[in-house]
A and B are shown apart, each in its own frame.
Chain A
């Protein structure tokens, strides 16, 4: 899979303090990568370097083979910052129109209508930003990031202000983007959400990439739990492959089996192990 976003040996330091220490990361077309890590781990810095807001101290980031921050790279991305604000006097329609003009999108009114429908804000096209709830503004922010059909979407905590319904809307939207072959870098603290939608997960701690892979590959077997007439027994370290053997042995020993469950670590377990209790 050709990399839409490629970071190589990426370093960033702020006045001597290392925010990123040699990070290598790739996001392919149509891939949804979840970026996890404690506060201050370097996730936002990585995202900002990818969209040209922050200059790296070393290494490189390329978007579709172009240096991050260059005009062709900026033309290929959509970005929603963690802390963003839109001018309060602007309506949703006007804001999207402004961004269409700034990125040279020829989508016109139909693109604006489609984007507002995607984030379920069609009813608020003429509503001023200052009268919108935080959740509406966040969904408008996602619509703004999608103006001009970007090939790479960089979302920094896009669901932090959303209620469960809003989060479900965004999940559906991310799945739609995957179908459209858009690469997404999703920076989030919501592990359950990342687990639900992301193809791959990268965990950053202290500016280093400490774990990377598909959620299912990162999870490790915790054992096989068997409920018998004599109580619940846990066979630690055993996995899916050993379950039939365990059951056969217990039956041979005369046990009556009521329930068998293969236990594996959750993404949360993987995350906590990776960051080792670090928090920002």
Chain B
């Protein structure tokens, strides 16, 4: 069993390597990080005199660092989600339609093990990618402005779990839809989740309970959004005073700390999505 799992994971990794997926991702990520580095440098430099003479009631370093690093996290989640979706693209129906799946499925490994192994490869890679980009962005932010978030590890792990959820959803959709439809549906679901998060921010800013509850519900229906909001919150959870208030008016508005319930729910949700995908795959005629 373990041998089969490691074989399929190795197969998925070699595929990514040979198809130059990793090379393309590496180059694009380096481009993003270079751009982020330039942006961070000028943002910290130009915000240095921000709120000067106001008795330092606003901490420009914290304000600038949290704002640009929050944006970096948004991009990191997006890039990690794109990677998760592409690594799970056509894994079931697409590969079955092209005839790639059948020679593997008839082997004794079994459908569930095959599917879960491919999920582990995709989710593991996407999560590792998110952690690496997060770490690089963190290092760049520190180098540019000597600012670090209030919590270092929590937000990174929340983002990694978020892309693992996106990978699970993408896998589930791949059991029912062909490649193009799968990509469209997963990105629409992803966009819907982020839009719900945006509505929660607006709701927080204008004090609308309805909008806030929409965002809250979305974070449970699509927990990757809840985890992203929680990771944003963890960046500034200890930041108080005017700086904290001003940040809450921006992209951090409406973000909540990750409750143990959300983390547990995220794991249950992922397991549930994978169980449904495995059940659908096991019943599917190929």
Residues of A within 8 A of B (CB): 14, 48, 51-55, 71, 74-75, 77, 79-81, 83-87, 89, 94, 98-99, 101-104, 141, 144
Contacts and interface: CB of A to CB of B under 8 A. Distances in A.
A99 B107 contact: yes
30 contacts: A53-B102, A53-B105, A54-B286, A55-B285, A71-B108, A74-B107, A74-B108, A74-B110, A75-B108, A77-B106, A79-B102, A79-B103, A79-B106, A80-B103, A84-B99, A85-B100, A86-B103, A87-B15, A89-B15, A89-B19, A99-B107, A101-B3, A101-B7, A102-B4, A102-B8, A102-B104, A102-B107, A103-B108, A104-B3, A144-B103
A74 B106 contact: yes
Nearest to A50: B106
- B interface bracket (residues with beta carbon within 8 Å of A): 20 to 34
B94 to A, nearest CB: 11
A81 B105 CA distance: 12
A51 to B, nearest CB: 5
Given A53-B102, A102-B107, 5 more contacts: A55-B283, A71-B110, A74-B106, A74-B107, A102-B108
A54 B96 CA distance: 12
Given A98-B11, A99-B107, A86 B100 contact: yes
A144 B100 CA distance: 13
Contacts of A86: 100, 103
Contacts of B285: 14, 48, 53-55
A111 to B, nearest CB: 15
Contacts of B19: 89
Contact of B99 (A14, A52, A85, A99): A85
Contacts of A52: 105-106
Contacts of B4: 101-102
A280 B100 CA distance: 25
Interface string B149-177: 00000000000000000000000000000
Interface in B98-142: 98-100, 102-110
B140 to A, nearest CB: 34
Contacts of A85: 98-100
Interface in B242-286: 283, 285-286
A271 to B, nearest CB: 27
